[in-house]
Amino acid sequence: MLFFDFTAAQIAGIAIALIVGITFHEFSHAFLADQLGDQRPRALGRVSLNPAAHIDPMGALVFVLAGFGWGKPVPVNVYALRPGRIGMAIVAAGGPIANLAVAIAAAVAYRLLDMAGFQGLVAEIAFYIVLYNLILAVFNLLPIPPLDGYNVALAFLPPRTAFAIQRYAPYGVLLLLLLVFLPGSPLAQVFTWLFGLARFLTGA
C-alpha cells in the first residue's frame, strides 16, 4: 500500500479516515484515564476530540506507507487509576473498542448513503473510515509493547511476571518492524482479511 498508488480523492479519504480513527482512539484513552482518576491527560488537553491534540504527522504518514502507525501517546499514570492495574487494562482497551465503534458507525453510514443513491467521494471516505479503524483496532490489540494489547495483557499477569516482561518492552518496536516488513509476514494476510471485512460490512 503505497501513497503514490492512490488518486487525490483516495488520499483525501485516507487522510480523513486516519484523522477520525486516531482522534477517537487517543481520546478514548484520555477520557477513560480521566474518569478512572488520572488527571494528567485532562491537564495536557488530551480529553478532547480536537485532532490537533492527538495526530502525530510522522505516525500518520507511516500508516499510509506501511499499513501501521501511531498517534501521540496519551501519558497515563497507572498508580493514579482506579482500580490500579485493571484500570490500566480498561484504559488500554478503550482505544481499540472506540475504533471498532467508529468502524461500525461508518459502515452503517456507507450503507445508508448507498441506499440513498449517493456514491463518489463521500461514500469512499466512509469506506476508508471503516477500513482504517478496523486496522487500528486489530493492530493495537497485538500483545506487543507499546501497543494496547500489551498493556491489557500485562494487567492480568502476576506482578512478578509482569515486572519481568516489562524489562523487554524496549524491544517491542523492533519486533513490530520485523512483523511488518519481513517477507511473508502474517500481518500482510491480516490486512487483506480486514479489507475483505470492510467490504463485507459496507457491501462495497
Interatomic CA distance for residues 76 and 64, integer angstroms: 27
Residues contacting 120, CB < 8 A, separation 6+? none
- Cell numbers describing residue 101: 465503534
Whether the CB-CB separation of 18 and 6 falls below 8 Å is answered with: no
Per the annotation, the verdict on 26 as an active-site residue is yes
Pairwise CA distance, residues 6 & 91, whole Å:
35
Rounded to whole angstroms, the maximal C-alpha distance in the chain is 58
Residues 6 or more apart whose CB falls under 8 angstroms from that of 38 comprise 76, 77, 80, 81
Residues whose CB is less than 8 angstroms from the CB of residue 125 and which lie 6 or more positions away in sequence, other chains included? 12, 13, 16, 17
- Count Cβ neighbours within 10 Å for each residue of 127-150 and write b for 16 or more, e otherwise: bbbbbbbbbbbbbbbbebbebbbb
Options 20, 23, 26, 150, the catalytic residue: 26
Q: Which residues are catalytic?
A: 26
